Amino acid sequence: MNAPSEHTLSEHKATNRGSGAERRVEKTTCYMCACRCGIDVHLEGDQVRYIGGNRDHPVNKGVLCAKGSAGIMQHYSPARLRKPLKRVGKRGENRFEEIEWEEALDMATAWLARARATSPKRLAFFTGRDQSQSLTSFWAQQFGTPNYAAHGGFCSVNMATAGIYTIGGAFWEFGQPDWDRTKLFLLFGVAEDHDSNPIKAGISKLKQRGVRVVSVNPIRTGYSAVADDWFGIRPGTDGLLVLSLIHELMRNGRVDLDYLMRYSNAAWLVIDRPGAADDGLFLRDDDGKPLMLDRDSGKPVTATKHPSLKGRLELPEGGSARPSFELIAETALDPAYAPEAVAGETGIGADRIRALAAEIGRVAFEEEIRIDQPWTDMDGEQHDGFTGRPVAFHAMRGISAHSNGFQTCRALHLLQVLIGAVDCPGGFRFEPPYPKPVDVHPKPTGAGVSGRILPNQPLAGPHLGFPRGPEDLLLDDDGKAIRIDKAFSWDAPLSAHGMMHMVIANAFNRDPYPVDVLFLYMANMAWNSSMNTAGTMEMLTATDDDGNYIIPKIIYSDAYASEMVAYADLVLPDTTYLERHDCISLLDRPIAEPDMVADAIRWPVIEPDRDVRGFQTVLIDLGARLGLPGFVGEDGAPTYDDYADYMVNHLRKPGIGPLAGFRGVDGKSAGRGDINPDQLDRYIANGSFWSQEIPEEARFFKFANRAYQDFAVEMGFFDKPAPVTFQLYLEPLQKFRLAAQGHGDRQPPEHLRQRIADTFTPLPRWYPPFEGQGIEDADFPLHALTQRPMAMYHSWGSQNAWLRQIHTANAMHIPAGLFDEMELRDGDLVDVVSHHGRIRVPVKRMAAVNDRTIWTWNAIGKRSGAWNLSPDAPEAEKGFLLNHLIHELLPDRGDGERHANSDPITGQAAWFDLRVRLEKVRDGDTARTMPRFAAQPPLDGAPPQPAASAWHPDRTRRT
């Protein structure tokens, strides 16, 4: 065991801390949202006084947002948990007994050990806003359960998965617009809580240069409010708009053919043999290499400088093959995607669509950028500069959280590649360690080395991965899902982030099997993180005929008294982000920039004043108590003291650990290198981050740039060069489609055949969102959306005294025309009704919203008494959740089958497919929002949080 970092850390603290009320500034990493900016924490004695931005940090360069500066109130929140808790009342009653850590860890170990000895799959371990998935997934793998994932399945897996499969990376943590060079910026469906400072700083740069910003979003708030042009699109039709833009660009020849031939599969030949088992697959040689037509010889070859993008090759065994570009052109030029044809559905006029397409084409091809930097591609061809098409895109959950979201995100990437704007000057730029082709990502694992899940055996590989075809699905011998959430089953074959939103319902239904322990971290599943919130609470408390809970044990870890705490049997209190070690790792969710690779840490800039422990340290402790391989040595002794020790001494493979910086005994190695016992001190001395610039010749076209690929291998992103060929035509989808047509050993169940055949098209196509297909338009004519405001992040913000003053309650924003037609006044209560439920909410008139869409801020509404808010806090009295209207299943189709309310390809929760109607309140309670749930009593001894306006940290300081 190695833990030499500990004493040096304490020395560092001692020299910095001094005594009494000495002032000092410590540098760590923000956790008030997912951007992970560098922060300067100003301390006075043992008190946090102020948080500022770290000017040297690569992510924020000193900029701090409102959330970041309000971190001080997160740290002093009265909602903080203070000690391990054992349930003494019934689930949901919020009655607990404080216990010592030893008892808590003994209980958890006993429950987990029993599950592992029975069958490891009896544990379902899921995490929410966790930023340590490289550790949590490793732990779950060593435990042996297939039932692990984080919250991506209900966040933005469509975006991530479509991006990885198509271009080897995606928006958000995989890359960013070239803010310094782009000349046209298009933003699709971005809410302002995510990717906060970087986008704000980027848009500021664009404004200073006079660059046009276009926002496509049903709601004009945040970034859309400062856009030069706003397209108030109807929810769920973004894919239709993007395909119409492609239609116009193709029709006008605004396509970068050279880029397509060099870097995409546009020339690869697709077999055209309807009814055959290989119809729609790529024509390959005997070694499996895809073939293309050589323009000079007309022959099929595996490599040529002159591939043909059109033509037909007759095949000796019957049928023919055509370059995929011909299929792309046919799809894109389908009259169904003409601007006039999509105008009605999208709510965007044909003239505006045509004008936007023309502007994209003009900027891409008439305002080309050159950077005179010689570089060499993967074929050894030398180029004297980088050519850029300066149109940049960014997109997020708004286009992703629909049942057609995967194909919409694919369409957007197709558009980027067609105009040659991926990883070029002025376009979208990858951030290391991306791009990575699908081939270097793992396939999902659902069993141990024996091919089965055996008691006390680890899993043979990581849970989450990227299936290449039906053969990679996680199905048992009977064709049933191996995972409790049914990820990687026929329900959602490419569910690369799991399906956390299905876990509780499936565990309750014991479908595909029961679990013994539900172990959750930072996931408020009893409130705003679940669809069908009331139903979820019932499932968490449901008992069998003998009075035993159907989900027998629930362990929950969080720093705060969220709604979920009340439903746990055992609560493991986490620290705040200023009291903990964390690892912002390249193995996990990177924070790199297009021109530099970077990672970062958090460390305890202040000691906890409560009996709490960092969750990751607790997990490592549990791993050792359970004797999990990797967490104990051969002698059974713990491998790591705590998370800090793990961050320094864990090796994922030789020379590769959680942190890439300051490796090697002298701390001078980067990426790969021996363990450096002083690594954390080096990070702290460097402002809690590490960065290294990418060589000039490696900064663009990373997917095909020899110098970048060499750099990536040197850094340990992969062991040999892994260039990316953009997969415009996505063959894995066709493999699932062929199965749905009856080919192959693995066949989907009958009730899913047609859906797979219709939606798994290897080229993006638009289909209407599922919820709308299952209801009558006249009954539910409106769309209803939620988004997080800029000042909040997930449910955390509404217990933060400063942020509460910005958003204390929410209203339902109603389009002005409808508002006037219904003769409403601001503050009136109306009923909003979906196929699943009814809520009563206050309304507000708004002009800048799609005229068929109502919307509200998400997770402002709180359950009375939760988060240690006063029971009559505005968040409980006036705030509300839209989640009560959303069901995890689609409307009953009358055939006995109810599909998940998810994307059929990735399983992404389709939050934004919700359809509703408004009803004026004519009787009953017209004073309060509804539904109302019994108030959760405050945890014993916890001081209720005062009203939103009367807050200062000094008044709640505990000694």
- Which pairing describes strands 812-815 and 838-846: parallel, antiparallel, or unpaired? parallel
How far apart (Å, rounded) are the C-alpha atoms in residues 411 and 79? 43
Site string for ligand SF4, 197-226 (x = CB under 6 A): x-----------------------------
Size of site (CB under 6 A) for ligand SF4: 13
User: In this structure, are residues 86 and 555 in contact, taking their beta carbons and an 8 Å threshold?
Assistant: no
Q: How far is the CB of 198 from ligand SF4 (least distance, A)?
A: 8
Token pair belonging to 678: 């002083």
Q: How far is the CB of 55 from ligand SF4 (least distance, A)?
A: 13
In the bound state with ligand SF4, the residue whose beta carbon lies nearer, of 613 and 794, is 794
Stretch that binds ligand SF4, among 35-43, 361-369, 480-488, 744-752 (CB under 6 A): 35-43
Q: Is 740 in the site for ligand SF4 (CB under 6 A)?
A: no
In the bound state with ligand SF4, the residue whose beta carbon lies nearer, of 36 and 234, is 36
In the bound state with ligand SF4, the residue whose beta carbon lies nearer, of 32 and 464, is 32
Stretch that binds ligand SF4, among 65-73, 230-238, 768-776, 794-802 (CB under 6 A): 65-73
CB atoms within 10 A of CB 851: 14
Q: Is 809 in the site for ligand SF4 (CB under 6 A)?
A: no
Q: How far is the CB of 66 from ligand SF4 (least distance, A)?
A: 7
How far apart (Å, rounded) are the C-alpha atoms in residues 704 and 167? 12
- 171-200 residues in contact with ligand SF4 (CB under 6 A) are 196-197
Sole binder of ligand SF4 in the list 5, 27, 28, 37 (CB under 6 A): 37
Sole binder of ligand SF4 in the list 30, 473, 752, 886 (CB under 6 A): 30
Phi, psi of 165 (to 5 degrees): -65, -30
Stretch that binds ligand SF4, among 31-39, 123-131, 347-355, 524-532 (CB under 6 A): 31-39
Q: Is 149 in the site for ligand SF4 (CB under 6 A)?
A: no
β-bridge partners, 854: 784
In the bound state with ligand SF4, the residue whose beta carbon lies nearer, of 33 and 81, is 33
Q: Is 791 in the site for ligand SF4 (CB under 6 A)?
A: no
Stretch that binds ligand SF4, among 63-71, 286-294, 495-503, 910-918 (CB under 6 A): 63-71
In the bound state with ligand SF4, the residue whose beta carbon lies nearer, of 133 and 853, is 133
In the bound state with ligand SF4, the residue whose beta carbon lies nearer, of 33 and 43, is 33
Q: What is the DSSP letter of 921?
A: -
Q: What is the DSSP letter of 909?
A: B
Q: How far is the CB of 124 from ligand SF4 (least distance, A)?
A: 30
Q: Is 33 in the site for ligand SF4 (CB under 6 A)?
A: yes
Token pair belonging to 88: 């003494």
- Which pairing describes strands 689-693 and 812-815: parallel, antiparallel, or unpaired? unpaired
In the bound state with ligand SF4, the residue whose beta carbon lies nearer, of 445 and 691, is 691
Q: How far is the CB of 600 from ligand SF4 (least distance, A)?
A: 11
Q: Is 131 in the site for ligand SF4 (CB under 6 A)?
A: no
β-bridge partners, 42: 25, 50
- 539-578 residues in contact with ligand SF4 (CB under 6 A) are none
373 contacts: CB under 8 Å, gap ≥ 6? 385, 386, 696, 697, 699
Sole binder of ligand SF4 in the list 9, 26, 27, 36 (CB under 6 A): 36
Q: How far is the CB of 932 from ligand SF4 (least distance, A)?
A: 32
Q: How far is the CB of 24 from ligand SF4 (least distance, A)?
A: 20
* Greatest Cα pair distance in the chain: 86
Token pair belonging to 847: 């002009």
Sole binder of ligand SF4 in the list 60, 688, 761, 850 (CB under 6 A): 60
Count, in order, helices (H) and strands (E) of the chain. Answer: 28, 34
Reported residue count of the chain is 959
In the bound state with ligand SF4, the residue whose beta carbon lies nearer, of 788 and 915, is 788
Q: Is 249 in the site for ligand SF4 (CB under 6 A)?
A: no
Cis peptide before 764 (omega within 30 of 0): no
Nearest residue (beta carbon) to ligand SF4: 68
DSSP readout, 747-802?
---HHHHHHHHHH--SS------HHHHTS-TTTS-EEEEEE--TT--TTGGGG-HH
Stretch that binds ligand SF4, among 57-65, 417-425, 575-583, 809-817 (CB under 6 A): 57-65
How far apart (Å, rounded) are the C-alpha atoms in residues 61 and 76? 26
Q: Is 64 in the site for ligand SF4 (CB under 6 A)?
A: yes
Q: Is 601 in the site for ligand SF4 (CB under 6 A)?
A: no
How far apart (Å, rounded) are the C-alpha atoms in residues 521 and 313? 55
Sole binder of ligand SF4 in the list 32, 378, 740, 859 (CB under 6 A): 32
Q: How far is the CB of 202 from ligand SF4 (least distance, A)?
A: 12
Token pair belonging to 544: 């069998």
Q: How far is the CB of 137 from ligand SF4 (least distance, A)?
A: 23
Stretch that binds ligand SF4, among 28-36, 101-109, 331-339, 757-765 (CB under 6 A): 28-36
Q: How far is the CB of 177 from ligand SF4 (least distance, A)?
A: 17
Q: How far is the CB of 200 from ligand SF4 (least distance, A)?
A: 8
In the bound state with ligand SF4, the residue whose beta carbon lies nearer, of 68 and 590, is 68
- Which pairing describes strands 292-293 and 148-149: parallel, antiparallel, or unpaired? unpaired
Q: How far is the CB of 612 from ligand SF4 (least distance, A)?
A: 22
Q: How far is the CB of 225 from ligand SF4 (least distance, A)?
A: 18
β-bridge partners, 573: 558
β-bridge partners, 126: 149, 520
In the bound state with ligand SF4, the residue whose beta carbon lies nearer, of 70 and 99, is 70
Q: How far is the CB of 131 from ligand SF4 (least distance, A)?
A: 11
Element (H, E) at 521: strand 517-521
β-bridge partners, 813: 844, 855
Q: How far is the CB of 573 from ligand SF4 (least distance, A)?
A: 23
Enumerate the H helices of 453-509 as residue ranges: 503-509
Q: Is 27 in the site for ligand SF4 (CB under 6 A)?
A: no
Element (H, E) at 584: strand 582-584
In the bound state with ligand SF4, the residue whose beta carbon lies nearer, of 64 and 660, is 64
- Give the Cα-Cα-Cα angle 686, 690, 691 (nearest 5 degrees): 125
Of the candidates 231, 252, 253, 229, which has an alpha carbon nearest to the alpha carbon of residue 242? 231
Q: Is 58 in the site for ligand SF4 (CB under 6 A)?
A: no
Q: Is 35 in the site for ligand SF4 (CB under 6 A)?
A: yes
Q: Is 74 in the site for ligand SF4 (CB under 6 A)?
A: no
Token pair belonging to 92: 């949901």
Q: How far is CA 38 from CA 26, 130, 201, 599, in A?
A: 11, 18, 15, 11
Q: SS in 3 state form for 47-97?
A: EEEEEEECCCCCCCCCCCCHHHHCHHHHHCCCCECCCCEEECCCCCCCCEE
Nearest 10 degrees: Cα torsion 455, 456, 461, 467: 20
Sole binder of ligand SF4 in the list 57, 67, 254, 788 (CB under 6 A): 67
User: In this structure, are residues 175 and 594 in contact, taking their beta carbons and an 8 Å threshold?
Assistant: yes
In the bound state with ligand SF4, the residue whose beta carbon lies nearer, of 9 and 584, is 584
Phi, psi of 8 (to 5 degrees): -70, -35
Q: How far is CA 201 from CA 68, 220, 430, in A?
A: 15, 19, 18
In the bound state with ligand SF4, the residue whose beta carbon lies nearer, of 200 and 497, is 200
Chain-centroid distance, C-alpha 280: 31
Q: How far is CA 248 from CA 245, 339, 765, in A?
A: 5, 8, 16
User: In this structure, are residues 888 and 901 in contact, taking their beta carbons and an 8 Å threshold?
Assistant: yes
Q: How far is the CB of 53 from ligand SF4 (least distance, A)?
A: 7
Sole binder of ligand SF4 in the list 9, 43, 48, 65 (CB under 6 A): 65
CB atoms within 10 A of CB 116: 24
Residues lying near ligand SF4 in the complex (CB under 6 A) = 30, 32-33, 35-37, 60, 64-65, 67-68, 196-197
